């Protein structure tokens, strides 16, 4: 501190008096050694021509650290002026400065000018500096050409040259470099050993990396251990990372902070907090307790393993808390959804005069978005306006996400317009934000803007959001175009993109396309399986959903709550109770984490399978109940004829603070309908808008018409239809027609039929109801005219069906159906029952029905002569 003050005073002294070059250069170096790069560059500007060749590399390093290209160019100009541009050490520093300051073309010019001037450059360090630049800027082909030119001119690559290549090339080229290393006997070079292990690990060839590590003559270098631990972790082998950690201790390798941090990351990956506690003990023994990097990793380990209290203890133990530790504590609370606790830590941090960085702000803004407290996010934004941190891409992306989630499109647009570099995260935040707010057209518009902007290649997250936008708009044409773009961009193999496409096609009714995409997936994750199960159920193939569910385990996955919820929906639609019980037992046996959606699906399944008591038991034992839960149980009581219990539960629901929606009222009116409580049902309908602010939908009107119709109050039903605030659709007129038929009111029936046929003149079932009305009223001439009209138009009624579950299968039957494997047996039993009833003098109406069934049987002849069939 005292030396810095002294140097500052000397700066003023040098500006006034004659300069001593030796002391002048010495002071510049001292500033740089103490990290005071700006002061060093300011001192240089006092007398540029007094700088020696030894001080220039230090000054170029200062310029690089500050990313100040203007200072770098000034230094370059001075180097040329004093005639030091041929010094290889200075030239190497110049190339590094231009590369790291983002002006790589200038770095190439410096190198080429030296080659032109000198004729031949034999210093491998110079060649390496430019090779490193090529690869850092993604110019792989140019970098390889530079490497080949270097060899052709007789400059032999050293270990660092090869390490640079290994860090940027793929597996094929990496193996060639490995062969070159073996042929040219580069032995026991730590740079090369580390680079080879890193190359194989990054190419997912972890066994080749292990082979290199295992055959090292000298394993005392801690760096190779760290790279190998990181390699296993990167490739999902966290157990091997922890085994290597234990082996390091046994081999007495001296640990560094990265060894501890990588091992703690492996504990997080495997969720093995007990091993993490052991590492915690080891780091105390190894005297790492004052290392902020290690303690930040330790706190993060406890946080991500959901041991928040242990994370807080670590935080409290550190007296001198740096910004990293504060950020880790905020992240821990955000990770574990303790949003208000994260705000509290943020406030304490500010109280302790710790200036938040971009990571802090991003976390706080994410937390604000997560719990919907946007005022906090806005106040944080207000604090940022006068700080350079506001221009950080991470902060701007977090602001975008927050404003999009809260629906503030104008604010989000403003943030996007102020961003100098719109990266993939920024565009992704904007597009996904619109999708979350169901503003699908805007999401597609911004995707087009992103493509027009150029320079940003969409990732899998963006494409999934765009596909979901097409799904939300039910626009399969746009979806197909996006699908084509996905194939061209090579993202069709990404499992999340492919799953979004499966979902889109199935929701738009193109199940065949969804099946094809699913079968073409190279790697299916659980999300993909869940999506396909839902697709089958959504498209009326519940049996396929149930079959696919059984295959999940065969492919090495364990169903989660989403899988169970999806398959239970399929079970409910087929009323396959046995399958439902098996799945319920599976959930209990494997202790699958249950959520409210799963419990609701179980309730619905038991209700639709006729087991109301089981549904009641689940309902009564649920820790929390949402609107769907109450609606499901109210509907269950109504469909099982217990209207009084449904109404009682409705009152209980209101008392619990849950607001009813349109589904609630539909269930209640339907309950009253089945119980014949006409006035009560009508009263509930009237209370929808008046008391609860719920706008009735067409289904509610249909139920009220049916309610009046069943009770024979046809005038009330017709008057109700006339008073409707929305235009009646087919279902309203059909309900009125059915009621008219039941009570033989031909005039009203004809009126309802007129409107019904006006809406849908080519639907066979519409004519059938009028035909039955004429038949019941014995108006045979009118009935004949209807039959003639139907025949002329080629109209038929879609047959109804019934089904029965026996053991582990559900059989479906249609009138006159002979598709069942047991059709002959069924009709034989029916024939036997009929004969028995004839002997006993059974009910004539039932006997007549059996006789009709036998007459219509496709197996009639065989039933009349059973012995010949045998």
Give the confidence band of 386 by pLDDT, cuts at 50, 70, 90.
low
The predicted pLDDT at position 170 comes to 83
pLDDT of 829 > 80? The answer is no
Exposed e or buried b per residue across 429-439, where buried means at least 16 C-beta atoms within 10 angstroms of its C-beta: bbbbbbbbbeb
Position 631 scores a pLDDT of: 92
The tens digit of pLDDT for each residue in 392-411 reads: 677 777 887 788 777 777 78
Residue 756's nearest CA partner among 742, 771, 778 is 771
Strongest mean pLDDT among 99-108, 401-410, 444-453, 495-504:
495-504
Angle at 696 between CA 691 and CA 698, to 5 degrees: 165
Asked if 44 contacts 70 with a C-beta cutoff of 8 angstroms, the reply is no
Higher-pLDDT residue of 21 and 425 is 425
- For 335-362, the pLDDT digits (tens) are 888 888 988 998 898 888 888 888 888 8
Q: How far is CA 661 from the centre of its chain?
A: 29
Per-residue pLDDT tens for 254-267? 999 999 999 999 99
Cα 740 to the center of its chain, rounded Å? 53
Structure confidence at residue 863 (pLDDT):
41
CA distance 154 to 354: 55
C-alpha span between 122 and 151 (Å, rounded): 11
The listed range with the strongest mean pLDDT (456-470, 777-791, 839-853) is 456-470
Owner of token pair 């009770």:
711
- Model confidence at 18, in pLDDT bands (50, 70, 90)? very low
- Tell me: pLDDT of 9 over 60: no
3-state secondary structure of 833: helix
- What phi, psi does 123 have (nearest 5°)? -75, 110
Other beta carbons within 10 angstroms of residue 160's beta carbon come to 18
Contact, 103 vs 115, CB < 8 A? no
Q: What is the pLDDT of residue 40?
A: 80
Q: How far is CA 291 from CA 274, 288, 355, 359, in A?
A: 22, 5, 21, 20
For residue 416, what are the β-bridge partners?
none
- pLDDT for the residue numbered 845: 52
For residue 786, the model assigns a pLDDT of: 75
The pLDDT value given to residue 630: 93
Selected residue with higher pLDDT from 122 and 443: 443
DSSP 62-96: HHHHTT-HHHHHHHHHHHHHTT-TT-HHHHHHHHH
| Spatial distance between the Cα atoms of 625 and 607, rounded to a whole number of angstroms | 17
β-sheet bridge partners, residue 196:
none
pLDDT value of residue 866: 44
How sure is the predictor about 870, in pLDDT bands with cuts at 50, 70 and 90? very low
Cβ proximity of 669 and 681 under 8 Å: yes
Q: Which residue has the higher pLDDT, 4 or 839?
A: 839
Residue whose pair of structure tokens reads 């439902």 in the numeric block: 580
Ramachandran region, residue 758 (left: φ > 0; alpha: ψ -120 to 50; beta: rest): alpha
pLDDT band at residue 536 under the 50/70/90 scheme: very high
Tokens 């993490």 locate to 276
Q: Is the pLDDT of residue 311 over 50?
A: yes
| pTM above threshold 0.85 | no
The answer to whether 193 and 221 have CB atoms below 8 angstroms apart is yes
What is the number of helices (H) and of strands (E) in the chain? 51, 2
Please tell me whether residue 813 adopts helix, strand or coil conformation.
strand
Nearest of 274, 280, 220 to residue 252 by alpha carbon: 220
In contact, 714 and 708? CB cutoff 8 Å: yes
Name the residue with higher pLDDT: 843 or 783: 783
Name the band, by pLDDT with cuts 50, 70 and 90, for residue 762.
Answer: confident
- For the segment 172-184, the average pLDDT, to the nearest whole number, is 84
Which residues make Cβ contacts (< 8 Å) with residue 557, sequence separation at least 6?
525, 526, 529
Q: What angle do CA 773, 778, 782 make, to 5 degrees?
A: 70
Which pLDDT does position 11 carry in this prediction? 46
Place 838 in a pLDDT band, splitting at 50, 70 and 90. Answer: low
Instruction: Give a three-class secondary structure readout of 106-139.
Output: HHHHHHHHHHHHHCCCCCHHHHHHHHHHHHHCCC
Joined tokens for residue 789: 């009209």
DSSP SS3 for 7: helix
Region 261-281: what's the mean pLDDT?
93
Residue 864: its pLDDT value, please? 47
Q: Are 54 and 27 in contact (CB under 8 A)?
A: no
Within 10 A of 473 (CB to CB), how many other CB atoms are there? 16
pLDDT tens figures, 196-209: 999 999 888 899 99
Show the tokens assigned to 710.
């069943």
The predicted pLDDT at position 777 comes to 73
pLDDT of 606 strictly over 80: yes
Three-state SS for 848? helix
* Between residues 394 and 146, the one the model is more confident about: 146
Q: CA 529 to CA 509: how far, in whole Å?
A: 18
The two structure tokens encoding residue 571: 């079970």
The whole-chain average pLDDT of the chain stands at 83
Environment class of 487 (CB within 10 Å of its CB; exposed 0-12, middle 13-18, buried 19+): exposed
pLDDT of residue 5: 44
CA distance readout (Å), 158 to 155, 161, 164: 9, 5, 10
pLDDT band of residue 614 (cuts 50, 70, 90) is very high
CA separation for the pair 398, 865 (Å, rounded): 81
Residue 759 CB-density burial (10 A; 0-12 exposed, 13-18 middle, 19+ buried) = middle
DSSP strand E in 222-372: where? none
Residue 17 has pLDDT above 60, yes or no: no
* pLDDT, tens digit (0-9, with 9 covering 90-100), for 664-678: 999 999 999 888 899
Model confidence band, residue 616 (pLDDT cutoffs 50, 70, 90): very high
Question: Distance between terminal CA atoms of the chain?
Answer: 110
Residues 443 and 471: beta-carbon distance below 8 Å: no
Q: Is 746 exposed, middle or buried (0-12, 13-18, 19+ CB in 10 A)?
A: middle
Average pLDDT over residues 473-499: 90
Residue for token pair 């023994």: 285
Distance of alpha carbon 521 from alpha carbon 517, whole angstroms: 6
Distances (CA, A) of 354 to 31, 345, 349, 386, 531: 26, 11, 5, 17, 47
Does residue 243 surpass a pLDDT of 90?
A: yes
pLDDT of residue 782: 78
| Distant-in-sequence, close-in-space partners of 171: CB < 8 Å, separation ≥ 6 | 199, 200, 203, 205
Average pLDDT over residues 637-642: 89
pLDDT band at 4 (very low <50, low <70, confident <90, very high): very low
Residues 795, 772 contacting (CB under 8 angstroms): no
Q: What residues are paired with 805 via a beta bridge?
A: 810
325-340: pLDDT as tens digits: 999 999 999 888 888 8
pLDDT at site 14: 46
Q: Give the whole-angstrom CA distance, residue 590 versus residue 453.
A: 51
**pLDDT tens figures, 686-723:** 998 888 888 999 999 999 999 999 888 999 999 998 99
Q: Which residues contact 303 (CB under 8 A, 6 or more apart)?
A: 311, 328, 329, 331, 332, 333, 335, 336
- Residues 675-684 have pLDDT tens digits of 889 999 999 9
229: helix, strand or coil: helix
Supply the pLDDT for residue 111.
Answer: 86
Report how far residue 675's alpha carbon sits from residue 645's, in angstroms, rounded to the nearest whole number.
12
Q: What percentage of the chain reaches a pLDDT higher than 90?
A: 26
Residue 842 pLDDT? 55
């Amino acid at each position: 501190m005292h030396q810095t003050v002294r140097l500052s005073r000397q700066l003023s002294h040098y500006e006034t008096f004659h300069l001593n070059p030796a002391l002048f250069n010495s002071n510049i170096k001292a500033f740089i050694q103490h990290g005071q790069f700006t002061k060093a560059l300011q001192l240089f500007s006092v007398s540029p021509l007094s700088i020696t060749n030894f001080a220039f590399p230090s000054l170029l390093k200062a310029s690089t650290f500050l990313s100040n290209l203007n200072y770098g160019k000034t230094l370059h100009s001075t180097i040329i002026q004093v005639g030091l541009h041929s010094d290889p050490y200075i030239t190497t520093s110049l190339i590094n400065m231009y590369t790291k300051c983002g002006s790589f073309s200038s770095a190439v010019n410096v190198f080429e000018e030296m080659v032109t001037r000198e004729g031949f450059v034999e210093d491998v360090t110079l060649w390496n500096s430019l090779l490193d630049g090529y690869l850092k800027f993604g110019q792989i082909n140019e970098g390889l050409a530079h490497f080949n030119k270097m060899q052709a001119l007789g400059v032999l690559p050293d270990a660092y040259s090869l390490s640079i290549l290994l860090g940027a090339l793929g597996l094929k080229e990496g193996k060639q470099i490995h062969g070159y290393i073996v042929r040219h006997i580069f032995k026991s070079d730590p740079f090369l050993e580390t680079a080879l292990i890193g190359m194989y690990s990054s190419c997912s060839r972890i066994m080749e990396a292990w082979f290199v590590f295992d055959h090292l003559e000298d394993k005392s270098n801690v760096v190779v251990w760290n790279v190998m631990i990181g390699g296993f972790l990167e490739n999902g082998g966290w157990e091997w990372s922890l085994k290597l950690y234990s082996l390091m201790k046994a081999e007495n390798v001296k640990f560094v902070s990265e060894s501890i941090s990588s091992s703690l990351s492996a504990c997080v990956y495997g969720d093995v907090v007990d091993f993490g506690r052991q590492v915690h003990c080891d780091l105390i023994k190894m005297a790492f307790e004052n290392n902020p990097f290690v303690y930040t990793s330790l706190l993060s380990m406890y946080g991500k393993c959901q041991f928040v209290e242990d994370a807080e203890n670590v935080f409290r133990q550190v007296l001198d808390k740096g910004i990293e530790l504060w950020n880790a504590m905020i992240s821990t609370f955000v990770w574990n959804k303790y949003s208000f606790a994260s705000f509290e830590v943020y406030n304490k941090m500010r109280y302790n005069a710790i200036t938040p960085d971009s990571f802090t702000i991003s976390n706080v803004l994410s937390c604000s978005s997560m719990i919907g407290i946007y005022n906090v996010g806005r106040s944080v934004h207000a604090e940022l306006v006068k700080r350079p941190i506001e221009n950080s891409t991470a902060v701007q992306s977090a602001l975008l996400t927050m404003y999009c989630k809260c629906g503030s499109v104008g604010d989000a647009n403003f943030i996007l317009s102020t961003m100098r570099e719109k990266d993939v995260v920024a565009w992704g935040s904007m597009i996904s934000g619109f999708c979350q707010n169901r503003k699908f057209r805007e999401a597609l518009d911004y995707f087009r803007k992103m493509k027009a902007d150029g320079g940003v290649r969409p990732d899998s997250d963006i494409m999934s959001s765009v596909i979901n936008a097409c799904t939300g708009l039910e626009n399969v044409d746009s979806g197909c175009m996006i699908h084509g773009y996905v194939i061209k961009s090579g993202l069709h193999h990404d499992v999340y993109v492919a799953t979004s496409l499966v979902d889109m096609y199935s929701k738009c009714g193109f199940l065949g396309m969804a099946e094809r995409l699913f079968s073409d997936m190279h790697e299916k994750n659980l999300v993909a399986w869940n999506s396909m199960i839902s697709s089958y159920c959504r498209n009326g193939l519940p049996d396929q959903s149930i079959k696919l569910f059984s295959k999940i385990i065969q492919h090495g996955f364990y169903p989660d709550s989403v899988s169970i919820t999806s398959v239970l929906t399929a079970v409910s639609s087929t009323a396959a109770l046995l399958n439902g019980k098996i799945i319920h037992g599976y959930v209990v046996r494997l202790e699958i984490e249950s959520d409210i959606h799963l419990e609701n699906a179980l309730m619905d399944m038991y209700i639709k399978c006729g087991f109301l008591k089981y549904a009641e038991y689940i309902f009564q034992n649920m820790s929390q109940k949402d609107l769907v839960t109450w609606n499901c149980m109210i509907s269950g009581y109504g469909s099982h004829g217990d209207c009084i219990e449904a109404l009682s539960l409705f009152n209980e629901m209101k008392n619990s603070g849950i607001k009813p929606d349109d589904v609630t009222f539909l269930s209640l009116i339907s309950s009253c309908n089945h119980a014949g409580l006409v006035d009560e049902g009508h009263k509930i309908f009237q209370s929808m808008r008046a008391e609860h602010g719920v706008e009735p939908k067409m289904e509610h009107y249909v139920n009220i018409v049916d309610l009046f119709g069943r009770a024979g109050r046809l005038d009330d039903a017709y008057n109700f239809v006339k008073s409707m605030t929305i235009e009646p659709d087919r279902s309203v007129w059909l309900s009125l027609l059915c009621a008219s038929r039941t009570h033989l009111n031909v005039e009203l029936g004809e009126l309802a039929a007129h409107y019904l046929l006006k809406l849908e003149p080519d639907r066979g079932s519409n004519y059938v109801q009028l035909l039955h009305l004429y038949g019941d009223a014995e108006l045979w001439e009118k009935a004949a005219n209807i039959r003639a009209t139907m025949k002329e138009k080629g109209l038929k009624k879609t047959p109804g069906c019934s089904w029965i579950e026996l053991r582990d299968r559900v059989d479906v039957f249609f009138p006159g159906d002979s598709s069942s494997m047991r059709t002959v047996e069924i009709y034989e039993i029916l024939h036997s029952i009929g004969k028995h009833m004839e002997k006993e003098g059974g009910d004539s109406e039932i006997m007549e029905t059996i006789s009709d069934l036998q007459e219509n049987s496709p197996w009639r002849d065989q039933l009349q002569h059973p012995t010949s069939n045998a």
